[in-house]
């Protein structure tokens, strides 16, 4: 009699006990962390960007949960010296309304982060879906969508965002819709270009020959090939969105006062710059620069991770 073949991995064959959802989630987290550690090896730029962005996110979350964690409320007036420079009691000085600038700096990133992440998520979703459909379908639909996106892309992004926010009104949600609308053509162009390359490949033709629907081909085989490009673009868009939100807040379209907002604080502090109150615009400006730099470093690191040849060329230079 012939012996039945035993599986090579006997432990995997014997391990038939069903795992609980919590255990499955734990194993998935462990796998993601291990893969992330391997991917981050040698990616110094990406690590620095992640640390900077995480520091800002943690600082903003804690400051908005505990607004008086350093002893001063960022929005309430108090009995303190007016327009006092940085001291031991007020690390970044006080403004004209006797409010602590450091407390406002800690809480001021709320609007920038919320609008930036929400706007990029909105534009990424809409622009990517339209890019997949346009690139895969082709024909008259592709021409109409391409012409529409090119028309939107031709407008200066800042001017278009200002016009949209002026139409929708000031506040967080109008800024999300305005900034998100501005970035839709960017994701459309990126995903469409990737889809045009993928749809003519041999394996896509083979999948279409066996009777797979267009929806299945796009979602299972075309869209995953555009993820790397989308992730790299999204990081740079986040950096640009931080600057756009700050500019809109500077123009008065952000959170209503006295809520802390970096852009509004810069607009408010420029009135007292000639009197020597440099700290009112310096510290909010530095926060905007460093947060934008963090997202830019993440985008640069993702680009190196996706395209190792690009990193090797930069090292040679």
Q: Is 77 left (phi over 0), alpha (psi -120 to 50) or beta?
A: beta
Residue spans per domain, the chain: 110-262
How many angstroms separate the CA atoms of 219 and 251, rounded?
Answer: 41
Report the Cα–Cα distance between both ends of the chain, in Å, rounded.
68
Residue 29, pLDDT > 70, answer no
Q: Which CATH architecture has domain 110-262?
A: Orthogonal Bundle (1.10)
pLDDT score, position 68: 67
How many angstroms separate the CA atoms of 263 and 315, rounded?
Answer: 37
How many angstroms separate the CA atoms of 152 and 14, rounded?
Answer: 59
For residue range 131-182, what is the model confidence (pLDDT) as tens digits? 988 988 888 988 999 999 999 988 888 889 888 988 888 788 989 999 999 9
For residue range 62-119, what is the model confidence (pLDDT) as tens digits? 888 877 666 677 777 666 778 888 888 788 888 888 888 888 888 888 888 999 999 9
How many angstroms separate the CA atoms of 237 and 119, rounded?
Answer: 9
How many angstroms separate the CA atoms of 42 and 34, rounded?
Answer: 15
Who contacts 155 (Cβ-Cβ below 8 Å, separation ≥6)? none
Which residues lie across from 100 on neighbouring strands?
A: 94
Nearest CA among 229, 235, 238 for reference residue 300: 235
């Amino acid at each position: 009699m012939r012996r039945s073949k035993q599986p090579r991995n006997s432990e995997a064959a014997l391990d038939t006990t069903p795992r609980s959802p919590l255990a499955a989630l734990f194993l998935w987290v462990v796998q993601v962390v291990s893969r992330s550690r391997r991917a981050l090896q040698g990616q110094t730029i990406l690590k620095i960007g992640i640390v900077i962005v995480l520091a800002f996110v943690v600082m903003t979350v804690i400051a908005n949960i505990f607004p008086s964690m350093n002893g001063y409320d960022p929005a309430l007036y108090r009995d303190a010296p007016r327009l006092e420079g940085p001291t031991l009691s007020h690390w970044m000085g006080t403004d004209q309304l006797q409010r602590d600038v450091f407390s406002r700096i800690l809480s001021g990133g709320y609007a920038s982060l919320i609008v930036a992440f929400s706007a990029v998520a909105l534009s990424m979703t809409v622009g990517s879906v339209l890019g997949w459909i346009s690139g895969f379908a082709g024909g008259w639909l592709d021409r109409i969508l391409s012409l529409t996106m090119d028309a939107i892309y031709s407008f200066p992004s800042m001017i278009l965002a200002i016009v949209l926010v002026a139409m929708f009104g000031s506040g967080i949600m109008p800024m999300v819709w305005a900034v998100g609308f501005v970035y839709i053509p960017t994701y459309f162009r990126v995903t469409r270009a990737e889809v045009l390359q993928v749809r003519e490949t041999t394996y896509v033709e083979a999948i279409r020959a066996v009777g797979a629907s267009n929806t299945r081909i796009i979602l299972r085989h075309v869209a995953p090939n555009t993820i790397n490009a989308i992730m790299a673009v999204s990081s740079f868009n986040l950096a640009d969105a931080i600057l756009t939100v700050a500019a809109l807040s500077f123009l008065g379209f952000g959170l209503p006062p006295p809520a802390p907002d970096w852009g509004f604080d810069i607009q408010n502090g420029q009135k007292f710059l000639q009197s020597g109150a440099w700290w009112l615009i310096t510290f909010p400006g530095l926060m905007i620069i460093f947060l934008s730099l963090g997202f830019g470093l993440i985008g640069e690191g993702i680009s190196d991770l996706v395209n190792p040849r690009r990193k090797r060329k930069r090292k040679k230079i």
